[in-house]
Every structure is written in C-alpha cells, then in structure tokens.
Structure 1
C-alpha cells in the first residue's frame, strides 16, 4: 500500500558538492582523492561530502568546501547545478544522492586542508579537466561552464 510504513527505511547517503567557478579566468576548483581513501583513490573530484544529522544540504556544501579547500562561500550565493543519484554507495546500502551547487562568489584561495583525504587541491582550467574523474564530474563541469540548466545523472540503475 503506498505510504504504508513497512518498518524498513532507506539508507541513502545525502551529499553536497560545490563547483567554484572563476568564469573570468576559465577555471574551477578540483580535488584529487588521495591513494589511501576508500572511495575512488587517485581520481579528480569536486569538493564534496556527506551531510551531518540535522544539516541542510546547502549548509553541508558550505561546510565541506571550507573543510576541504579553505574557500568560503555564502549559502545564499549557491545555485543548484546538478543532482547525481547513485544506486550504490560504500556507506549507504541504498545508494547516494549528491546535490551539486555552483558558486560564482567566494573568498580565499584553494589549499589542501585535508591531506589524509586528498593529495591535490587546485584551480583547473575548464578546457583541461582531467580525464580520471569520479562519476560524471567532467560532464557536470562542462554543463556548468556552458551554463546549462540543472540536470540529473544516474549511476548503477541498469
């Protein structure tokens, strides 16, 4: 019966990511995941992380960006860019949802504030996005560069 409580709950991991896009210079902030991390070691990614209990996805985006890169953005400056829905996740048996925001205003320069998690944090030219990226990061960045409307990427759904 629709809406009935069956006693089971989905365990979907909710994540937030930010594309810090310097349009004037044609570059974005990216991180390269370190060799010892449990998920996607050595691949380039956006600054991204899981929401904490009681935290909005936009607050998580602001927090994760600061924790990983030292860049500060205001929640009100975030714009929805993309949603990624994965059928499987290392810590979420029912998959994950990542809400990707763009930020055209920020304070600070990227630094690697989590060296146990990343081995590089840097500005990357939009025209030279590395080929070794997590999921659809390259397509998300291309869409953001072209100012395409928000979209959805599905991973592992068949």
Structure 2
C-alpha cells in the first residue's frame, strides 16, 4: 500500500488534522493523507487528496516529493511506503472538507508537536527537518 501525505508548513508551523474515524488513528493528530487509488499516479493522487480533504487545488507540477518512509507495524509483512509531498503553491483556502473523518485542522509549531500524533508522522517530520530524503521505521 502507498500512503500519500501533504506537508504544509507556514511560519515554522505544520498543518495537522485530528482524526475522528474508528478505522485507523482514531483520536490522533496526523498530516492530511490518503491512499493511492488504482489507475492514478502518485502526483494525481496527492492532488486529489488535497482537494478532497482540504478543498485546495494543487497542480501536479507544484508538488515536490520531500520524504519517503518505509514503515512497518507489527505483522505488517513487507510494510508500507509512505510518501510526503510539499506543495510549492496551491489555490483556495484550506477548509476541513471531511468533518466526519477529521474533527479539526490546526497548525502546530514544528518544535512543539502534540503528544497524540501518529508516530510515523513524527518520524517523517524529523527526517524532513534533518534534510533526510528517506527513513525507515519498524524494522529490526
């Protein structure tokens, strides 16, 4: 499975959403994210997720892949590839377009992230801030 994540940073703050879906990550903060759907490129998928979740339009040309995380939970087999994109620009105002899945959107200082954040998001953000393009989590 390939996960797509949007890393919007403004004034040393990152946009996070509070997940309110029992499927996964319930009651945790996480980057705006979704999964690649069959038949779409990673750029098209990230642009689609941005529109669906945040109501913003991002051209595929304005997305930069800034980090890749090979992530594995217990019993996750080969793990998951998580891709993190930075939008160089976007159109529209950020809104919570999926209130049934996201209780709220909030900006957090990069040096003061909430305790109840999805762990692999922290791994990726730490890697991004350190200038690393790739990281792994959950491997012995």
**Interval containing the TM-score (normalised by the shorter chain):** 0.7 to 0.9
Structure 2 Cα separation of the partners of residues 46 and 71 of structure 1: 15
RMSD (Å) for aligned C-alpha atoms: 2.4
> Aligned partners of 2:13 and 2:109: how far apart in 1?
4
Q: In structure 1, what is the equivalent of residue 12 of structure 2?
A: 26
Does the 8 Å contact 2:69/2:124 carry over to 1? no
Contact 2:65 2:86 in 1 (8 A): yes
TM-score (norm: length of structure 1): 0.76
Matched, 1:44 2:29: yes
Which range moves more in the overlay, 111-120 or 80-89? Answer: 80-89
Conservation of the 8 A alpha-carbon contact between 1:32 and 1:120: yes
- Does residue 15 (structure 1) correspond to residue 19 (structure 2)? The answer is no
SS at match of 1:60: helix
| Residue segments in structure 2 that go unaligned for 5+ positions in a row | none
**1: CA distance, partners of 2:8 / 2:103:** 19
Structure 1 residue 61 displacement after superposition: 0.9
Q: Which residue of 2 aligns with 1:99?
A: 83
Structure 1 residues 108 and 28: CA distance shift in structure 2, 3 A: farther
1:127 aligns with 2:111: yes
Query: What is the match of residue 79 of structure 1?
Result: 64
Bigger Rg, structure 1 or 2? 1
Name the SS for the 2:95 alignment partner. coil
Compute the displacement of 1:134 (Å).
1.1
Alignment partner of 1:151 out of 117, 122, 134: 134
| Deviating 4+ runs (over 4 angstroms) | none
Give the deviation of 1:128 after TM superposition.
2.5
Give the alignment's TM-score, normalised by structure 2: 0.84
Matching residue within 36, 39, 48 for 1:63 = 48
Q: How many residues align?
A: 140
